[in-house]
Amino acid sequence: MTKDIIENDPYKSAGVDIDAGDDLIKKIKQDVALTHNKNVLGNIGGFAGMYKLNEEFKNPVLVSCTDGVGTKVALAQEYGDLKGIGQDLVAMCVNDLIVCGAKPLFFLDYYASSKLVINEATEVIKSISNACIDSGCALLGGETAEMPGHYIGNNFDLAGFSVGCVDEEKILNPNNVNKNNILIGIESSGPHSNGYSLIRKILSESNNSKEEKKVIAEKLLAPTILYPKLIMNLLNTYKINSISHITGGGLTENLPRSIPDDLSINIVLSSWEMPEIFKWIAEEGKISLENMYRIFNCGIGMVIFVEESDAQEISDSITSLNFKNFIIGKVTEKTQENSVIFS
């Protein structure tokens, strides 16, 4: 390429820097390669990623999902703390996969900005790579898009896409849940990646000092917990009837998705203490408890449904794997319209 073309790049004059994209690939190549295993065919930079299914699955069913991290990105940019946002992206996808009993295989990311800031993008993608390693999946590819005029200032957005696999006979189905099944709630690290439009509004309107807001923001930016290795361990050891990932919609909206229509759930609120960050959100935002459980996870990021006779042993096993957990309720016959009853 001639010097004249480089210096008079018409695409760059429109706000898109091809060279910056090339520089980013060079910076992230090693981190991405660390996520790869023997099933990944080809290298970063191709037109598509390839992944070979091995003999681990006898009757394989592919499971896919896509998600983002919402306006948590805006909070992370505002407070200059991007180190966990890539983990949030991976977690929101792979934590959905495992609800079906699927093992995460690979992940792809989409990074869109008004102007590519290489250091920011590198930090985010490094976080994505580390989260893929922690989840046991490969970062198979991605897309980085500069869209000047569409995004404002240095704003950027993220989306992720993940694929997992499960043997057909091992798919977790809500119909496996029976009356008297026990719910074990596994800890969250905070709001994870849900409710941040409301959280940002509450934080901006609060009377806390600038320094206090910075401390609160640090807690709010705690990265979403990655549950795949824990859940896969449990699935390989115990009978798990169903799983619920507590995302947007909180306990109220997500738990009914994991049980048959003719059953309901009784949640004992005293079985765990709502973490301080949620108490702050409720108090500062003047949000009722009913709405808190409908919007946020309130300290419970994942719920598993198990037989009553197995509950304590499974709970102890989760504790031994360094996850706090609580026996939070029981499945009952449905006697009223609400599928989740808080007591």
- Which of 170, 201, 218 represents a domain boundary (last residue)? 170
Element (H, E) at 240: none
Write down the pLDDT at residue 269.
96
pLDDT of residue 232 exceeding 90, the answer is: yes
Kind and range of the H or E element at 225? Answer: none
Output the domain CATH number for residue 293: 3.90.650.10
pLDDT for position 10 = 72
Residue 47: what pLDDT?
82
Minimal CA–CA distance to 53: which of 109, 106, 94? 106
Instruction: Look at residue 148 in the predicted model and tell me its pLDDT.
Output: 84
What would the mean pLDDT of 135-158 be, rounded to a whole number?
A: 89
Same domain, 253 and 155: no
pLDDT (0 to 100) of residue 305: 98
Percent of the chain exceeding pLDDT 90 equals 77
Give 17-65 pLDDT, tens digit per residue. 666 666 677 777 788 888 899 999 977 667 888 999 988 899 999 999 9
What residue type is 152 in one-letter code? I
Mean pLDDT, rounded, of the chain:
92
Beta strands in 99-200 (DSSP E): 103-113, 138-146, 156-167, 182-187
11-15, 235-239, 257-261: least confidently modelled range = 11-15
Q: Is the pLDDT of residue 13 over 70?
A: no
Of the candidates 67, 21, 63, which has an alpha carbon nearest to the alpha carbon of residue 224? Answer: 67
pLDDT, tens digit (0-9, with 9 covering 90-100), for 196-230: 999 999 999 999 999 999 999 999 999 999 999 99
Q: How far lies 139's CA from each of 12, 37, 117, 250, in Å? A: 29, 10, 21, 29
SS3 at position 144: strand
Domain identity same for 45 and 72: yes
Same domain, 165 and 179: no
What is the total count of domains within the chain? Answer: 2
**DSSP 8-state secondary structure symbol assigned to residue 255:** G
Residue at 310: amino acid letter:
D
Exposure string over 32-48, b if 16+ CB within 10 A, otherwise e: beebbeeebeeebeeee
Q: What is the pLDDT of residue 19?
A: 62
**What is residue 217's predicted lDDT score, i.e. its pLDDT?**
97
The answer to whether 97 and 164 are in contact (CB under 8 A) is: yes
**Domain match, 162 and 186 both:** no
Do 106 and 195 belong together in one domain? no
125 and 13 in a common domain: yes
CA 295/CA 217 separation, integer angstroms: 19
- Under a CB-based contact definition with an 8 Å cutoff, are residues 205 and 274 in contact? no
pLDDT at 17: 65
> What pLDDT does 7 receive?
60
Note down the domain range covering 29: 3-170
Clarify whether residues 166 and 52 are in a common domain.
yes
pLDDT reading at 5 higher than 60:
no
**Band of the pLDDT at 6, cuts 50, 70, 90?**
low
